[in-house]
Structure formats: structure tokens, C-alpha cells
């Protein structure tokens, strides 16, 4: 099993919205389309069914981890890339060769907010991708050691 951190802005999609869906499962499209090749490659090449991910709220007053999700459907074409009316339309993407992918996630549990500032206070997490200066990826891997420590917080 691998571990991940997946960001969403509360103005776009919240942990409460995930919690309130009938099956507590969504395609990660609510984040309004992943349009970064490295994040796409993580979904395509590295994510497996059953992997777990932290739900991280970003670009808000109090960023941090608010839940745990499970990857419940492997990477598949993001349909927004084919809709000409979508902000995420990509004319270079075709059904035969889609450029952008998506995964489905299911809520495992909602967590009390673990603030970014609290994560920064642990020397053991200093190498965590979310804490690196300039990191803006919406999906990042989390090591087993990082995952275990954060779950103890």
C-alpha cells in the first residue's frame, strides 16, 4: 500500500461534501481537474486500489489535513478535457489518447484539522513534499513513516 496527500480548496470541494455524498465516494474531479503532468503521472503510474490519501484543504485561512480517503477506482480519462464548454477543455486530448486522468476516492474517516503549522513543527516531517518550499502539486506521495507519524498526531 502507498500513501498520498490530495489537495482541494474549500471553495471548490470540502471534506463535508465528500462525507455527505450518498456513497461517500467521488471522482477527484471536484477538485476541478488535475492539470499537472507530475500529479497525473502519480495517478496513472503509482496509485493502486486500496492506497490511502490524506484529504488536505489548501488555499484557505487554515490549511491542513482534514480526512483520510481510499483510492477505490484506478486512473481513467477525466471527462472535462473533452467538453468544449469546460474551463478544463483540452483540444489536444482525444478519446484515443487522453492527456488528463482522474481517480475515485472514498472517505475512510474525517479527522480533526491537523494544521499546516502543526505539521511544520515536527522535525521528522521536514522532508514531506507538502512542506517543501515552492511545492504546489495537488497530489503528492507520503512515506510510510510520515503517514504513521501524522496518524499519531
pLDDT at 21: 93
Contact partners, residue 113, CB within 8 Å, separation at least 6: 57, 62, 64, 65, 66
pLDDT in tens, 78-133: 998 999 998 889 999 999 999 999 999 999 999 999 999 999 999 999 999 999 98
Overall average pLDDT of the 4-33 stretch: 88
Q: Quote the pLDDT of residue 136.
A: 82
Q: In whole angstroms, how far apart are CA 26 and each of 74, 112, 123?
A: 12, 21, 34
Q: How many Cβ atoms from other residues are within 10 Å of residue 113's Cβ?
A: 15
Q: Which domains does the chain have, with CATH numbers?
A: 3-134 (3.10.590.10)
The pTM of the full predicted model, rounded to 2 decimals, is 0.93
Amino acid at each position: 500500500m502507498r500513501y498520498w496527500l490530495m489537495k482541494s480548496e474549500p471553495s471548490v470541494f470540502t471534506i463535508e461534501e465528500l462525507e455527505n455524498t450518498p456513497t461517500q465516494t467521488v471522482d477527484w474531479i471536484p477538485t476541478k481537474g488535475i492539470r499537472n503532468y507530475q500529479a497525473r503521472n502519480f495517478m496513472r503510474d503509482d496509485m493502486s486500489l486500496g492506497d490511502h490519501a490524506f484529504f488536505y484543504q489548501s488555499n484557505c485561512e487554515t490549511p491542513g489535513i482534514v480526512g483520510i480517503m481510499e483510492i477505490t477506482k484506478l486512473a481513467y480519462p477525466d471527462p472535462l478535457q473533452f467538453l468544449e464548454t469546460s474551463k478544463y477543455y483540452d483540444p489536444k486530448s482525444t478519446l484515443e489518447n487522453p492527456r488528463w486522468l482522474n481517480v475515485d476516492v472514498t472517505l475512510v474517516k474525517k479527522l480533526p484539522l491537523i494544521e499546516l503549522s502543526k505539521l511544520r513543527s515536527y522535525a521528522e516531517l521536514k522532508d514531506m513534499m507538502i512542506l517543501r518550499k515552492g511545492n504546489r502539486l495537488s497530489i503528492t506521495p507520503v512515506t510510510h513513516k510520515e503517514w504513521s507519524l501524522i496518524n499519531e498526531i
